[in-house]
Amino acid sequence: MSAPAAPERALSPKRQRFCEEYVIDLCGRRAGLRAGYSPKTADAIAYELLQLPAVQAEIARLVKERSERTRITADRVLEELAVIAFSDIRDYGARENGQMYLTPGARSDAARAVSSVKRKRVTTRTVQNGLTVMETVSTVEFKLWEKVSALRALMPHLGLATERTESRDLTLEELIAAAEEGDEHGVAK
């Protein structure tokens, strides 16, 4: 029995490169530029390529392959983004020794939203009634990962925002009609 024939390559090397670049950040324009398409046509080319079934299939294959290789699933990434996006500074406290803790009612995974913890001890020396008094004060500063970025990253996965890659020429009448219906981004007033 002979080995199965290798599948025929449906994509040109440049289209293959576009697919490989697209799975990096899911941005058609940037993928087009990195694949070697002209800055003037990258948006339009990206839109056209993303409509092709062969390109869609290759992107799906690359995403699946990467997910299996890294054991990183879309669900896992979205869960991590959700922890950051919905973090609440009220979920954190600090003990007198400067140790961070989660407050009652905080999610058990809330600590993953913390980007840094800074502890500072300041000792002051004062003289009172001829006696030297030493006082040490500890402070703790928490920083959470940036919520707005996490929310923006989640939005396309929930259908709340999509990348616009198509462009078209509008007549003056079409621009006026669009302006009456919504703002320059097509958002209803």
Residue ranges per structural domain of the chain: 9-72, 86-149
Q: Rounded distance, CA 88 to CA 16, Å?
A: 43
pLDDT value of residue 139:
83
pLDDT value of residue 10:
80
What is the pTM (predicted TM-score) of this model? 0.51
Name the average pLDDT for the chain: 83
More confident position, 184 or 18: 18
For residue range 86-121, what is the model confidence (pLDDT) as tens digits? 999 999 998 877 788 999 999 999 999 999 989 888
| CATH number attached to the domain at 9-72 | 1.10.10.1400
Token representation of residue 52: 């092709």
Residues pairing with 84 in the sheet: none
pLDDT value of residue 84:
94
For residue range 136-175, what is the model confidence (pLDDT) as tens digits? 888 888 899 999 999 988 888 787 876 555 556 666 676 6
Where helices occur in the chain by DSSP H, the ranges are 13-25, 28-34, 42-51, 53-70, 74-85, 147-154, 172-181
Token representation of residue 172: 């003056």
